[in-house]
A and B are shown apart, each in its own frame.
Chain A
Amino acid sequence: MTDAINRRRFLKVLGVTGAGAATLSACGIGPEPTERLIPYLVQPEDQVPGIATYYATTCRECAAGCGVRVRVREGRAVKLEGNPDSPINRGRLCARGQAALQGLYNPDRIPHPMIRNARGVLEDIDWDGAIQRLTAKVRESQGKGIVFLTGAEQSTFGDLIDEWLKQIGGRRVSYEPFGFEALRAGNRMTFGTTAVPTYDFANAKYILSFGADFLDTWLSPVEFQNGFTRAHAFDAGRPASMAKFVYVGPRLSVTGMNADEWIGARPGTEGMLALALAQVIVTQHLARVPADASRLSSLLAGYAPRAVATAIGIEESVIVRLAKEFASSGGGLAVAGGMATQGPNGAEIVAAVNILNYAVGAVGTFVKFGAELAIGSTNTFGDIATLIADMAAGKVGLLFVHGTNPAYTAPGAFPQALGKVAYKVSFASFMDETTAACDLILPDHHALEQWGDSRPRAGVTALQQPVVQPVFDTRHAGDVILKLSGKAGTFQDYLQAKWKTKHAANFDQYWMESLAKGGIYAEAPARAVRLAPTAARINPAAPAVSTAQEQDVVVFPHPILHDGRGANQPWLQELPDPVSKISWHSWVEVHPDTAARWGLATGDFLLLKSAFGAQKFPAWITPSVRPDVLAVPTGQGHTAYGRYAKDRSANAFELLGAQANGYGGRNFTVRATATKTGEHRKLATAEGSPRELGMGTTEVLALSRAKALHPGDHPFHYEETPEYAKEAVAWWAERQHEKASHGNYKGEHPRWGLAIDLAKCTGCSACVTACYAENNLATVGEELMQRRREMAWLRLERYWRTDAHGTVQGAVIEPMLCQQCGSAPCEPVCPVFAAYHTPDGLNGQVYNRCVGTRYCSNNCPYKVRFFNWYNYAERGGEFEAFPEPLSMLLNPDVTVREKGVMEKCTFCVQRIRGAQHQARIENRAVKDGDIVTACQQTCPSDAIVFGDLNDRNSRVYELAGNPRGYHVLAGLNTKPAITYLARVVDQETPRNG
């Protein structure tokens, strides 16, 4: 693209003011102001140059339907933040949500409609032409079978599609690669309903997860994570206590990492374990079991702990103890899903867990039917299989694809079948595997450019409004369909009309309010469920034990890239996987013992050959997986989709079959042979030593000890000075302080500080991506990641946590960022004062003064300073991080760093200054809570608190005095401004690595 075109499009996107233009051209920190200023034609009344406007809309990165507020500056969306009004995410957001911006401004988006010409090549076409062609196609293929394939689309748009399909005689199939068939089938068995209930983690007192990764990929992660930390965090609003969390599963996921105890049950036996627990509870009357549970006694009789212990692979005593704990907690909640329920007996496992819940009376209290989740309404994989069959049989004449990419998630079968379809139309924004095979491409607006709504759960309708001008020559699929169906008006009108039907009385006001709030949020009435007769007949039989040459391979959804839809967003590619810390590549998890047996080292390639396909993955040797299990994430291995995703590693879906299993689900646990290929790859990992080795960076407390702490205790206090020297030292420090308080440093100043609660942090990594978004961090790509040159100001250090026997029980995650030390080692060594101490207690880093001696980084014990080895903002440079139009999401308030300068966490100084400006304009002082750092704002578990340590009434001041509080490497007397609150584990003698 020539600059001229860039510029024109750029002008189209923003009715630019100077500021907008300046920041975009301000690549590097050299003075490069815009030479031209283009005024608005008409000033948008809700936008003032230099002041951000926030628009409420809905995140469509996954089906959870979190509310977001988009920060818009001079017509550019520069940051996503959670919408506090939304009951789903309560103002929080996950990494994938943060990265939605990179979908909006992605350089690989399809810029205009395309059509396959006679030679079979895709060529450009104008919209009118495209729509004419399509109208014709629709007419001629009526009766020949029309199918509209969408993602989870519980929305007015979905309704529109259905209406239109009724009109032209077609059917809609909605497809989520990681569907919840097992959940629905299991619920049908036990309660006679296929609804997917919501789970109230917040009030549970004991959480037992059978493979359900509710913190990263299961149903509604942000919502659940928020709830989970309320329950699981130590003294989170409740008298010192925490809900114990036990994780049952073959490998540790993000969710598993946070468990107090990890039960590595053999895959497939989770159901047996659940029933065993229920058996103990019922027979020993540990809980007030509902009357009708007696029907189950015959079923449970077969699952006495002694009988099933060996099959499950854990001691009988453990089962009994768990049952006792679970029941006696008086608030036990068990959830089943994810890896546990993706085998052939998944539905039974869910049913078994339902029974366990039912036995302790969790159903109705924590498992809430009534407020069903929309995700449950998608078609099953069985339906997809039939669709594929129909397509292959040529029974589909016209196929529309919107918001899903089955050619990637169902490789082999689907692409073949696709070939048999006469005419294929895609509404995708990216040239993904499916779209590449289509005949007509009508690029849809990005979610942030379009009107729409979605109903993530009963009672909640989240609104979507365009927050920026369309970046490319795209059109709302709704508008297209309306045109096709010959209806007048745009989709916006359609949407409003639909809403009017629900609420006619002074609609406009209602509409505006809903827009401002981001939707309408109502509590759906609870619905009581009773045990269905089928419940007593379930049989969660365990599959056969895997033999030496055949391994159980668990294919699990990548917590960041999920089913691969995130693979073309550099932020998500660069973000290390929370567990493996590997980025830009896929991997296979191998237990050290297995690795030793096979003579395998991290990075050696394993060829996995299943009945359906074979793929190569580099091994990651980790104690977080069962010895007899190999685990592979999805997400990578795209053959199309975009520059960041294409030809990167291998596609784990290749290993899976396209057949539906008994309950209409898909088997994600397959048997495969693993052979060393001899190849090796240096993985781009952020992981250093996986063990903390008692160097005193992380602290872990047993619950018993934590409970014993009183206000004023300092279990981790590091005594720097002996008693006799205290007075002298104090006097000396005072003198030093006086000598240091000249000029700007005179008088009272705030001391900005942070408190990070390790008991809350789950390692979900949302904060990291938020930091990338807020502070214009460059993504450096795999090659430089391999050389440890990532720019992440905030990294999550994951140290394995073991029990007394040294077996891994989970992990402690420590967010490590600039500690803004009171007496910082980095400052005095800088020859030019580029690193210096600000009056308000920050370690200032003046980019434009920095000459790049890098001494500061050498002298930083926390190693949180990062150097610009190349000019990552260089147009067309080898390591360009913001290719047009990605550069449009650069934060205008933050300098884009040039090559050769050091950078580090600034505590979002631009937000601090912004708040101070605002306060000054309003003639008031900055209040506690005015300033919210990007990481704090997005943290789904509210683990980070920012504030003024000199303000006795601030939240952070209170937390800094918490007995669990400690400073990392306090012994170095760096006086950090960040207080970490020790991780609390419900365990006898936890060890941090």
Chain B
Amino acid sequence: MTYDYVTRTIARTLGTPSRGYFLLLAGAVTLLAIGIITLLFLLRYGLGLAGYSHPVYWAVFITCFVFWVGIAHSGTLISAILFLFRSGWRTAVYRTAEAMTVFAVMTAGLFPLIHIGRQWYFYWLIPYPNERGLWPNFKSPLIWDEFAIGTYFTVSTVFLIMGLIPDIAAVRDLATGWRKKLYAITSIGWTGSNEQWRHYSRGYLYLAALATPLVLSVHSVVSWDFAMALVPGWHATLFAPYFVAGAIYSGVAMVITLLVPIRYIFRLEELITIKHFENLGKLCLLTGLIVSYSYVTENFIAWFSGDEHERAAFWYRAFGPFWWASWTMNICNGLLPWLLWFKKVRTNITALFVISIFVNIGMWFERYVIIVVSLAGEPYTNWTNAVYNPTWADWGIMAGSFGWFFMWFLLFVKNFPAVSISEVKEVLPPPRRGRVAASR
């Protein structure tokens, strides 16, 4: 495989889209439209349209929020952490993962704004100097959230763009017409001169070094939205690692879900090989096991603590009216990944794809269980245990979020190299005169 081959194969993915692509895009936009219409209704009539019921004051919206933030995690993990670990196999997949990250955060970021009662005052959460002289409450986990998500979005975005620059330059030098102009601007004069590479590779290293703790922090902060509260089932020190693992788990699953079709549609079999998928599978297995372990720990501690409220909460979770949600979660996240112990499964694209879908579902339900069920069965006052059912408004917004995410993702893969050109080249043996000194 030569450099030239790599460049051209990847550049080919930017060719004129097929009808299938446009159909997908149309689908995504339709979902988005549904979401927007639902949102307009919520704004006009109030959140009552959603299924909320005392005391379940957080529900599907926050579930989706956590779900998308979770998805956002594998991207930076693969691009930054594995970069620091110098693991070569990441090069072929990290671009997709990173794009996914950015768009997932974009999606997640919307939910806190949608779910608040007076959406038009969302900016009150931002510390801006105002005539009233009021500031937000930095003790509130929600403000931490705002900072964490904001930072994460900014950093992962610049990280993605940085990685893109040399590749954009590469496609610029191949492209023609308006695309050339676009790439000429977006590649901000990249030539690949030694000076550029020198600062670039250094900076990239530091970005990776900064992004790594960030990844771990963001979902910890999100988890503290719950861990900082005293709701039994939320109030656990375990939450930060538990959520981070869960996030990466769902993220990796989502990467697989996205890579499989991309690889198939763009004929990237030679760049994205079975090996890559197997490694993703392993990652999935690892994080999956951590998550399952967390489930066990949660329940054990609830029993071991001897606190009747904790016990009641987890009993309600497993055998209360929401048992189906809990068991969906346990099966999808706890049992399915065990299949990945087998190499046969890990190396079978179809199997991986199916599992990844189920993991995504399972992880959505995990958040549903943690948020909705914990609130519904909060045992402090037995008097208030709720009956909660989502309504069309909940589903509408959720559909919209998927539309929003996939719209951006589809637009991205058609306009920018979905696989890193320069980094793939890096792991190839460089061209040398004669076959001498291939030893390297």
- CB within 8 Å of B: which residues of A? 687-689, 691-695, 697, 784, 787-790, 795, 797, 799, 816, 825, 828-833, 849-855, 857-859, 861-863, 866-871, 878-879, 898-902, 969, 972
Contact = CB atoms under 8 A, between A and B. Distances in A.
Contact of B229 (A693, A859, A899): A859
B124 A851 contact: yes
Interface string B160-178: 0000000000000000000
Given A828-B139, A858-B229, A863-B54, A695 B308 contact: yes
A797 B381 CA distance: 9
Given A797-B381, A831-B143, A867-B57, 7 more contacts: A697-B381, A830-B137, A853-B115, A861-B378, A867-B117, A900-B117, A972-B380
Interface in B217-274: 225, 228-231
A899 B117 contact: yes
Give 6 nearest A-B pairs by CB, closest first: A852-B117, A900-B117, A869-B48, A689-B382, A854-B57, A900-B118
Contacts of A861: 230, 378, 380-381
A900 B380 contact: no
B386 interface: yes
A852 B55 contact: no
A866 B54 contact: yes
Interface residues of B, number: 49
A281 B142 CA distance: 70
A829 B117 contact: no
A871 B46 contact: yes
Contacts of B230: 825, 859, 861, 972
Contact of A789 (B54, B116, B142, B383): B54
Contacts of B229: 825, 829, 855, 858-859
B397 to A, nearest CB: 16
Contacts of A697: 380-383
Contacts of B312: 693, 695
A888 B396 CA distance: 39
Interface of B: 45-48, 51-55, 57-58, 112, 115-119, 121-122, 124-125, 134, 136-137, 139-143, 146, 225, 228-231, 308-309, 312, 375, 378-387
Contact of B116 (A784, A852, A859): A852
Contact of A850 (B46, B55, B117): B117
A816 B54 CA distance: 15
Nearest to B230: A825
B48 A695 contact: no
A688 B385 contact: yes
A28 to B, nearest CB: 11
Given A829-B228, A867-B117, A816 B48 contact: no
A797 B380 CA distance: 13
A870 B45 contact: yes
Residue of A687, A851, A902 with most partner-chain B CB within 10 A: A851
Given A853-B142, A855-B140, A859-B230, A870 B381 contact: no
B65 to A, nearest CB: 12
A687 B386 CA distance: 10
Contacts of A857: 54-55, 57
Contacts of A693: 312, 379, 382
B117 A828 contact: no
Contacts of A859: 229-231
Contact of B380 (A695, A830, A833): A695
Contacts of B384: 688, 788, 863
A836 B124 CA distance: 16
Contact of B47 (A787, A799, A833, A852): A852
B344 to A, nearest CB: 45
Nearest to A878: B45
Contacts of A688: 381-385
A887 to B, nearest CB: 19
B381 A862 contact: yes
Contact of B48 (A789, A790, A850): A789
A689 to B, nearest CB: 4
Contacts of A855: 58, 140-142, 225, 229
A833 B380 CA distance: 25
A863 B140 contact: no
Residue of A688, A692, A831, A849 with most partner-chain B CB within 10 A: A831
B125 A689 contact: no
Contacts of A898: 118
Contacts of B146: 831
B426 to A, nearest CB: 44
B427 to A, nearest CB: 46
A697 B382 CA distance: 9
B382 A695 contact: yes
21 contacts: A689-B385, A692-B382, A693-B312, A693-B379, A695-B381, A787-B51, A797-B381, A829-B142, A830-B137, A832-B136, A833-B137, A854-B58, A855-B140, A858-B58, A859-B229, A861-B381, A862-B380, A863-B380, A869-B48, A900-B117, A972-B380
Contacts of B122: 851
A851 B385 contact: no
Contact of A901 (B117, B124, B385, B387): B117
